[in-house]
């Protein structure tokens, strides 16, 4: 059985489905701090299975140990973390306390229960503002601009140090920009309050929940002046976690790092225009000044994931944008 810490969250819930599709038993652990228990119902509607779940704060080690005791765990996928860059700047201690303690506790659980298969949610944010794109796993770790970003850099260091003394199998997955939703339209990215990330903002403007999208800067050194990102469908990303679990079984004791993206740089305006076209809905937007801390351009070199994990992103930008729009429309029903 695989423990999915943060399994009710945006990426975690999609990973639960892909694990289930490949025949894995799953135990979801979540405190629903940034997700809803209704996700468990949605997962049941999608798969026909009611997943085992425990409501637990990963920062509470004793509770985590107690609540997982009865389950035979062979692996842990650790998603449980806060992810708002802006909030991390205004409340850094909240981010360090939660994101680091929950990771330490997941590793302590592995140690105590002799679980030797660990997958961690990292981020391309660890590359900071890269000197060269695309970035490979060997690219230099950059200067993280936010406590959120720093919490990912420190988390990777914690994992590396742990692996030094306890050489279990570990995959450290560096996500680029996950967007989109499950094809059912039942689960997706559902931010609490005003969205920080681009696509949830776009879908809310499309739905009339918000008036105008602010495009942060059009004077970058890119083809249309707006920032470039590597947007990846959350379902593709979720599938990579199953490959990582399998890779860990075959590569006992190895600590590996993988970029997960499509390898394509898409600008903010490219994304808006494609959204309008594939969904046939206009987006009201205005160009405003740059957002502090934004990286001009980043996209992934994903060769390592292809060769070693036997994984590539299969779903294109249109699929990402139509699925996200379907999910947004379902929220309003
Ligand atoms: C950042 C991190 C990513 C992290 C994510 C968590 C980097 C390179 N990426 O993503 O690792 O997982 O935060 O939230 O550090 N934009 C607008 N208007 C908006 C919102 C965004 O123009 O209202 C633009 C941004 O300027 C950026 C692009 O859209 O160019 C994507 O922004 P966003 O979705 O917030 O993701 P990142 O900042 O790339």
Tens of pLDDT, residues 275-290: 999 999 999 999 999 9
Q: Which atom of ligand 1 is nearest to the CA of 144?
A: 15
What distance in Å separates the CA atoms of residue 280 and residue 114, rounded to the nearest whole number? 52
> Residue 165: its pLDDT value, please?
96
Please name each of the domains of the chain with its CATH number.
Answer: 2-180+232-261 (3.40.50.720)
Give 230-282 pLDDT, tens digit per residue: 999 999 999 999 999 999 999 999 999 999 999 999 999 999 999 999 999 99
Indicate the pLDDT class of residue 181, thresholds 50, 70 and 90. very high
Q: What are phi and psi of 184, to 5 degrees?
A: -70, -20
Q: Which of 294, 297, 317, 320 to mutate to test the pocket of ligand 1 (most atoms within 8 A of CB)?
A: 294
Give 40-86 pLDDT, tens digit per residue: 999 999 999 999 999 999 999 999 999 999 999 999 999 999 998 88
Query: Is residue 193 pLDDT above 90, yes or no?
Result: no
Do the Cβ atoms of 246 and 237 come closer than 8 Å? no
Q: Which of 148, 190, 220, 231 is catalytic?
A: 148
Q: Which atom of ligand 1 is nearest to the CA of 213?
A: 23
């Amino acid at each position: 059985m695989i423990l999915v810490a943060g399994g009710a969250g945006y990426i975690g819930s999609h990973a639960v489905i892909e694990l289930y599709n490949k025949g894995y038993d799953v135990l979801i652990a979540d405190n629903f701090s940034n997700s809803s228990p209704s996700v468990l119902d949605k997962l049941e509607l999608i798969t026909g299975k009611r997943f085992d779940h425990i409501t637990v704060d990963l920062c509470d080690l004793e509770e985590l140990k107690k609540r997982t005791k009865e389950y035979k765990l062979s692996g842990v996928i650790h998603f449980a973390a806060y992810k708002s860059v802006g909030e991390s700047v205004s409340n850094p201690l909240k981010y360090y306390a939660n994101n680091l303690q929950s990771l330490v506790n997941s590793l302590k659980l592995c140690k105590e229960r002799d679980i030797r298969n660990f997958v961690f949610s990292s981020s391309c944010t660890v590359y900071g503002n890269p000197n060269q794109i695309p970035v490979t796993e060997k690219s230099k770790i950059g200067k993280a601009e936010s406590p959120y970003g720093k919490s990912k850099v420190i988390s990777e260091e914690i994992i590396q140090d742990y692996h030094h003394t306890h050489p279990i199998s570990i995959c450290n997955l560096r996500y680029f920009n996950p967007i989109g939703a499950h094809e059912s339209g039942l689960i997706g990215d559902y931010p609490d309050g005003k969205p920080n990330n681009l696509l949830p903002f776009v879908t809310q403007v499309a739905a009339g929940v918000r008036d105008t999208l602010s495009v942060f800067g059009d004077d970058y050194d890119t083809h249309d002046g707006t920032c470039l990102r590597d947007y990846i469908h959350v379902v593709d990303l979720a599938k990579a976690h199953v490959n990582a679990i399998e890779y860990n079984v075959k590569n006992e004791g190895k600590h590996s790092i993988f970029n997960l993206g499509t390898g394509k740089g898409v600008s903010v305006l490219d994304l808006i225009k494609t959204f309008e076209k594939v969904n046939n809905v206009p987006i009201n937007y205005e160009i405003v000044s740059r957002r502090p801390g934004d990286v001009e351009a980043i996209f992934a070199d994903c060769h390592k994931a292809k060769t070693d994990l036997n994984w590539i992103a299969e779903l294109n930008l249109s699929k990402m944008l139509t699925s996200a729009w379907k999910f947004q429309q379902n929220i309003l029903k």
